[in-house]
């Protein structure tokens, strides 16, 4: 129930004055104390600044200095999660990266847009919806993730893909708009075997997963 609530669409209409003032302070701090500190030794310093502005990030997460975070207070990152170089995190709404989720360089996470049926989209009609990357999800370079999208556990979004609908767990997608390319398989480094996520498909409204079954192939 709580997970479904996270992905709800919101209609704030416009950015409030309070948020605008918070962003002014954050942008000044980011310019002076975040982006200039580019080396890995300052990784925890950057995380500290994000935490000071309300981000919920684990200490072993990584946010590169060139990342543009619109609102740190709308960012959650789990263990070993990563926002790569030059990523734009346009998080007017919540952005969640669970453990081991990775967003590669130059990707765009976009949680906001405008209601195209609104009479004046420049002055109002703002709509937002969160983006959630489940455990182990991987976003390739220069991908675009649209508002309200959930990337499933261990799913892979190919480079330059545009994603406007949820991506099912263990699928590899690519293209604009993205389509399923194949199912993902991960080599088990302990046994040398391959762990496969076997998925039953139904050709209806791009629904990919009906039931899950684990198999280990030697």
Q: How do 138-139 and 102-103 pair as beta strands?
A: parallel
CB 147, CB 93: distance < 8 Å: yes
- Residue 199: its H or E element: strand 194-199
Question: How far is Cα 100 from Cα 70, in angstroms, rounded to an integer?
Answer: 22
Q: Residue 77's closest CA among 91, 60, 52, 65?
A: 60
What CA–CA distance (Å, rounded) separates 50 from 69? 9
DSSP secondary structure code for residue 167 in this structure: B
The catalytic site residues sit at 114
Q: What is the DSSP string of 69-83?
A: ES-GGGEEE-TT-EE
């Amino acid at each position: 129930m709580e997970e479904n609530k996270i992905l709800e669409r919101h209609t704030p209409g416009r950015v409030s004055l309070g948020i605008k003032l918070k962003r002014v302070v954050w942008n000044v701090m980011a310019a002076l104390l975040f982006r200039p500190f580019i080396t890995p030794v300052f990784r925890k310093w950057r995380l500290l600044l994000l935490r000071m502005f309300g981000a919920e990030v684990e200490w072993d997460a990584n946010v590169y200095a060139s990342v543009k975070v619109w609102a740190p207070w709308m960012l959650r990152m789990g263990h070993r999660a990563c926002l790569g170089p030059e990523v734009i995190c346009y998080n007017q709404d919540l952005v969640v990266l669970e453990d081991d989720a990775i967003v590669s360089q130059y990707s765009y996470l976009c949680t906001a847009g405008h209601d195209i049926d609104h009479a004046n989209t420049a002055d109002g009609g703002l709509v937002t919806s969160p983006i959630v990357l489940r455990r182990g999800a991987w976003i390739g370079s220069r991908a675009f993730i649209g508002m309200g999208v959930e990337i499933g556990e261990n799913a892979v979004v190919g480079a330059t893909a545009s994603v406007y609908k949820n991506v099912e767990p263990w699928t590899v997608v690519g293209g604009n708009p993205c389509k399923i390319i194949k199912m993902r398989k991960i080599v088990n480094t302990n046994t040398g075997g391959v762990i496969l996520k076997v998925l039953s498909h139904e050709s209806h409204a791009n629904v990919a997963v009906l039931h899950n079954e684990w198999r280990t192939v030697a």
